[in-house]
Structures are given as structure tokens and as C-alpha cells.
Amino acid sequence: MIRPSRSDHRVIGHPQRKIEGLAKSTGRAVYTDDITLPGMLHGKILRSPHPHAEIVSIDTTAAAALEGVHAVITGRDMPVQYGIIPWTPDEYPLCVNRVRYIGDGVAAVAALDEDTANRALGLIDVEYRELPAYLTPQEAAAATTDFIHEPKKPGHNGNVTKRVRLEFGDVDDGLDESELVVEGDYFFEGTTHTPIEPHCAIGLFEGDGKLTVWSATQVPHYLHRELARVLDLEGAKVRVVQPLVGGAFGGKSEPFDLEFCVAKLSMMTGRPVKILYTREEVFYAHRGRHPFHMRYRTGVDGEGKLKAVDAEILLDGGAYASFGLVTTYYAGQLLCAPYALPAYRFDSTRVYTNKPACGPKRGHGSVQPRFAFEVQMDKLAERVGMDPIEFRRLNFIGEDTRTINELRITSNGFLECLEAVERASDWKARFRQLPFGQGLGIAGSTYISGTNYPIYPNDMPQSGVQIQIDRSGRVAVFSGGSEIGQGCDSVVAYIAAEELGVPISHVRVLRGDTDFTPVDLGAYSSRVTFMLGNACIQAARELRAKVQSAVGEAWECPPDRVDLLGGLAVDTADPARSLPIAEAFNLAEARFGTLGATGSYNTPKDVHGEYRGGTIGASPAYSFTAHVAEVRVDVETGIVEVEKIWIAHDCGKALNPVLVEGQMEGSAYMGYAEALMEEQIFKDADHGRAGLHNAPSLLDYRIPTSLDTPAMESFIVESNDPEGPYGAKEAGEGPLHPSIPAIANAIYDAIGVRLDRLPFSPPNVWRRIREAEAGGGLTKPGAPSREVGVAP
């Protein structure tokens, strides 16, 4: 059901420009690497050539003596472990006594220029003692010696970073009672974010003991905390500035070695120091999609209703914990909608391997299981003889309900999403009816609108906004929101303009600086619009009420008769009576004093179960998505062409529909890329240097160009969430999920071959086709044999 929405908004819900669009289209936008400070030095980081080794000794004498070198540091200069998750700190800014992947940082240099810094790196002499390297999660899980990290308890395998086993309902009974159980093994290859802007940071330590770090980060607040902790500085003396960020997608959502190194090198030299990653280093920094090895057993009853789901998942974590604790939970926790699961069990294990650490990439931890599960759904629908869209409708969980793992679902527009893509793709006339080689596939998904709890436990708001009104009619919004291209600076401007009646061009968004913005926890988990938006509404409405009150007093009418819109204060009972908004603001300032207000947002606390881990996956609201993909498969070459993706997404309420469509298309594009092209993979001993990144460049790590990218058509579904700002939920990550299984299911519709391993690259697809031919030939699958709920 779709809740009604207010339709009298003047700004919200209408297409608007992005406020920084002008700066970006003229080249005047400032990203971190565009900043040059007087006397600035350039830093470089020496990286390990070994996947796993002990550092026996480091001699930096020759490097330090090189003309133009101002400082050299090693791990021993910052021997404090950190990690984005407070319970799993396991990395140092630079390795202290062990390296864990090819590319792990060992030492850093600050010099007059990059060339000198690079020459100095060549003069650092590191003696290593190589250790056995674990490159696959299976090897790592079976290891008995030379663990990548020290075991937490004696007798434990130090390569296991996290194991989560949770069961809701009785899965064994559910499977026993099922009419049909489909079992499948799936593999999701690792991929990386590949923002076009490489990571960059500048440190400036001043004589008064104040440290400023400019960084291309998604999480200035967490960076602020970790800089203070690792460098042993008072938090009050640390300032993080976040210039515009040139794309992130989760790849800049925790502290990185360069941020600590620029700070430390500036503390040692007294000069500003910049480090800009090379593209190669961006691939080593990674924190991208974990490779997942997954096994699913899914049972349905005679009517096609899901009975039980059993999942076993092995996560290839790379060398460090990163967000891995959360990933290990998300791998299971986020599967419990949009379908009702009467019984569900998952056993999820993350292991360390000697490769760059994996972390959160757009759709953190849930894109991989969603792929497997939606292919399982397709297999089940076929086996019970149902149209796969009908099969999904039959199993819809509903709105205002709880999932089997006790997550609270509020608004839910999934059925409308299914209907939109079904109609737009002409599904009923074409599914299973296109010629051999062409096919349609469906998939659905859900995603969180922000994690319900912050990364470190506290009761403070997740997001805050401060607004100040000037006598000129200008509104200044101090926002800690992290603008990474998604448009959160614009969203607070739209909200301020909506509530205070000023044109958007009279709103200044002052942002990205921990010295003057309230805390927002960062651009991750699709939390920003929901949380920052609610905080901004609160601040703006407090000021709106003051302006209405002051104008009402002057007009001798009740305040609620005063509306603020279009640069005016207007008497709604007598529209001929109005004041320019600046004069209205002046009345309010005369009446109440200087006009400023803060707003904050914190999450509801009763939206999850009370079991251990029950808070992970909890969110104040969930988005829902459905995609239909259309493909064409060349069985001679294994080339899959995705011709079109229809994307329907329930974002609650589109605060700016153009920005929402941009997120939907960008997400579907990224899912398509993972489905067909992308592989963050490493050489084994038979194919070069074991553990070496296969292709750390944009020439070899293939991401889609404008020619590869399919046509996309977006359908916004507005379920008007009761707690979202104006009803809004997330749009930045959810719409990635269904791309991949929808493409897999479309390939099956085209040629009758199941693809359970990513990516669907020509060699992989070609091999599966040859296997299928050897096993009996290729045929188009048959049409669904029955209607909903009719037993065969």
C-alpha cells in the first residue's frame, strides 16, 4: 500500500539543480589534490613486495640523507593499532613487524617533490623474512600455523576474523516439511569501488599543537577520532576538512595509511605534507566487495510459499578486519525481506587472506547473498511452475511488520516495484517467449536506510545540522554531511528552502569541516538523506516557527496563517498581504534575537531483536527494489549483452526525483559492471608472483564505458515512510542489488544455462555453455505451467 504524501511542497519533490553543479561543470570545484599550501611537502609510501612476511629490520639512513628529504617514518613511529570497528583494531598506520599483503605500507617519506620522495623510497632498505601466504579463504580456514593475525585465544585459528551463526525458527523442520528444496552453490568474485578520484590527504601541524587533515574521506568524524587516538592528540585540537570527494562508493569510508602519514610527517617537519595515491595504490587500499562462497538450501511448500532457508557463507576478507565484523552479519541479516521467511539460518565465516583488505562497497555485505538468493528464487519458481514475478508476489512480506530476524519494516513499496518493471518490460508477453539467445530476468531486494547504531556505542545523535539566518535573507546551513557526489549538500539546501521560503540560491551550505559543522557520522550505509534530512527539518522548522510567530504578531494574525514561500512571507487568508522574506526574518530577529537553531536525529530503539547481533542490520526504514534485465547471449563466444535494465525503486519519497534517478541508474550500472566485467583478483604461484594484484590499473581492471553500459529506465515508487524526511528513504545502494541476479536469471531465460559464479565474462559463460552442451544441449526453458497457488 502506498501512503498518501503531501503534495503542496514547493521545492521538495520537484527537479532541482545540484547546488555545486556550477562549480563542477566549470572545473572550479575543489577536491583535495587541488589544494596547495605554502611550503607543502610531498609524501610517498613504501609498500611491501611480499604477501606475508616478517619485517626483520628497516634502514632509512640513506633515504633520510637524500637531498630534499625532510622526514622518513616507519611503523614504529605510530605503533598504535586502529580499525574502523572499535572491537577489531588490527592494523597499524604503517606495518610494525609484519606485512600481510603485497602493497601493505611499510615506511613513508616527505620530500620537496614527488620525484625526490620516490627516489628516497628506493633507498629504504627493508629486510623481510617471508612467511607462507594464504591466498584463498579455504587455505586460510584450514591453516594451523603462520596465522595472518595472532589468534584471539590459544588454540584458535588466527585466520578466522569472525563467525556468526544465527537461526530463526526451525530450519531443519522447515526443510523436512518442504514440498521442494533447491540447493545451490554460488560464488561472488571480489570487486573494487574505483572512484575516479584517487585518495588524497594533506596534513598540517601548527605550532600551537593543532592538526588539520584535509582528506578525500566519506567519514570525517571517524577519521577525526582515529587521528586523535593513534597520534595521541587531544580531539579538540584535531580538525578534519573534507573537500569535495570525487566518488567513493564505500572505498573511502575508514581511515587509511596516507591520512596518518601526512599528519605524522607534518608533525615531524612542521610543514604541510600531501600524499596522493597512485591509481595502483587505490587498488591496494581496496576495502571493496568481499569474494563470497555461498551455499543455499531453500524450501517451499506445495503452493510455492517459502518454508525455510539455510545459508552457509565463507567470506574472503583480505588482510585486515576493516568493517568485516559488520559484513559477516550483513551477509545473513539483510536477506529477510522483501519475502517472508518462516525459518532462516545462516552460518557466516570471514577469514583473513594475504590480499588487500575487503570492506564495504555499495550494498555492503548484502549484494552477494542477494545474487545467490534471487537466483534460488528463480530456480524455485521454475520448479514449482510459477511465473517468477508471481512467485515473488506470493512470498511478499508486507508492510508494517517484522522480519523473521525481528527487524522492523515500516513502509514497503515492493509490490509496486514489481508491477512497474513487469509492465514496462512487457514481461507477460515476452518472458520465456523471446527467441533462443534472448531473455528477461527479474530480481528484487531490500536495503537499509542507515544503520540504526553508530560504529562506536553512544547515545548522541547520528546527525546534526545547524542553521543560521542572516538579515539579508540568506540562510546558512552548517552541515557535517559528506558530499561524495550523491547530493547531500543539495538536499539540506532544498529542505532549508522549503521550510524557510527562500530561493535555493539564498541558501549557503557550509560543510565538510569538523571545526564548525555538527557531527554527521558519514556517508555510509545509505544513512545520509534519512538522518541528515530529519536533522535539517528539525532545525529549519524551529526557525520557521519563530518567523511565523514574529510576522503573525506584526500582522495581528495567528502564526499558522503565515506561510513562507517563494521569497515571501504570505498571509494565507489574505494572499494580497505579504512581506519580502528578508523583512520577515528581520522582524523575527528583532523579536527573538540572533536567529540560529540546531536540529538532530537519532534512531528509534525498538526496531530489532534482543539477541546478540540483533542490532546489526537494523535500520529506521528499508528501501525496496525490483529490476528486470533483458539480455542477448551469443552461445558461440559466450558474450552477454545486457540490452536494458528496468529499475523500480521504493525510495519513500523522492526529495529531488532527478537525484534519485541518478542514484538508481548509477547503482544499476555498478551492478551490471560486477555482473559482467569486474574482478579484483590476484595472481597465484602458477601465474606470476603469488598474491600480486592481477591488474592494478584502469586499463586492465575493466569498468564499463558508455558503450558497454545498457539502456536503463527508472521508475520511482513512493511509499512515504512515516519516519523519513518528507517520507524519504535511501536510494544510493539498494538499486544495485537486483542488477546481478536479474541478469543471471535473464541469461537462463535466453539459453537455459544457469550462471552461479560471477562474473559472467565471456570465458566463464563460454565454459558453462560448453558444459551444458556436453550435458545434453542448449534449450530455451519452458513457460510457467501454472497459476498462483494452484498445485501441479
**Chain positions contacting another protein, by CB under 8 A:** 11, 14-18, 20-31, 33-34, 36, 193-198, 244-249, 278-279, 484-487, 503-505, 658-659, 662, 665-666, 668-670, 697-699, 703, 705-707, 709, 711-712
DSSP state of 20: T
Of 57 and 706, the one with the shorter C-beta distance to another protein is 706
Strands 568-571, 578-580: pairing is antiparallel
> What one-character-per-residue DSSP string does 560-591 give?
GGEEEETTEEEETT-TT-EEEHHHHHHHHHHH
Looking at beta carbons only, is 213 or 507 nearer to another protein?
507
- ∠ CA 165-170-174, nearest 5°, is 120
Closest CA to 754 of 737, 769, 740, 736: 769
Helix (H) or strand (E) holding 629: strand 622-634
Q: What span, in angstroms and rounded, lies between the C-alpha atoms of 287 and 81?
A: 17
How far, in Å, CA of 239 to CA of 221, rounded? Answer: 10
The C-alpha atoms of residue 720 and residue 117 are separated, in whole angstroms, by 54
Question: Phi-psi bin for 169: left (phi > 0), alpha (psi -120 to 50), beta?
Answer: left
Q: 486 or 578: whose CB is closer to another protein?
A: 486
The CB-of-422 to another protein minimum distance in angstroms stands at 22
Query: CB 111 → another protein: shortest distance, Å?
Result: 15
Distance from C-alpha of 340 to C-alpha of 336, rounded to nearest angstrom: 7
CB-wise, 9 or 591, nearer to another protein?
A: 9
Beta carbon of residue 198, minimum distance to another protein (angstroms, whole number): 7
Q: Contact, 317 vs 360, CB < 8 A?
A: no
Nearer to another protein, 99 or 493 (CB): 493
Specify which residues 267 forms β-bridges with: none
Q: At 158, which amino acid appears?
A: G
C-alpha distances (whole Å) from 23 to each of 29, 30, 506, 678, 695 are: 5, 8, 16, 32, 34
Least Å distance between CB 696 and another protein? 11
Identity of the residue, 328 or 490, whose beta carbon is nearer to another protein in the bound complex: 490
> What is the Cβ-side half-sphere exposure of residue 311, based on CA atoms within 13 angstroms?
36
Burial bucket for residue 184 (CB in 10 Å: 0-12, 13-18, 19+): middle
Contact 652, 416 (CB under 8 A): no
- Minimum CB separation from another protein for residue 645, in Å? 9
User: Residue 226: which H helix or E strand, with range?
Assistant: helix 220-231
Nearer to another protein, 278 or 598 (CB): 278
- Cβ proximity to another protein: between 465 and 712 the closer is 712
**Is the separation of the CB atoms in 427 and 628 below 8 Å?**
yes
Closest approach, Cβ 522 to another protein, in A, equals: 16
Question: Based on CB atoms, which residue is closest to another protein, 33 or 77?
Answer: 33
Residue with cell 533447491: 182
Q: Where are the beta strands (DSSP E) in 218-258?
A: 238-241
Q: Which is nearer to another protein, 160 or 241 (CB)?
A: 241
Which residue's CB is nearer to another protein, number 490 or number 745? 490
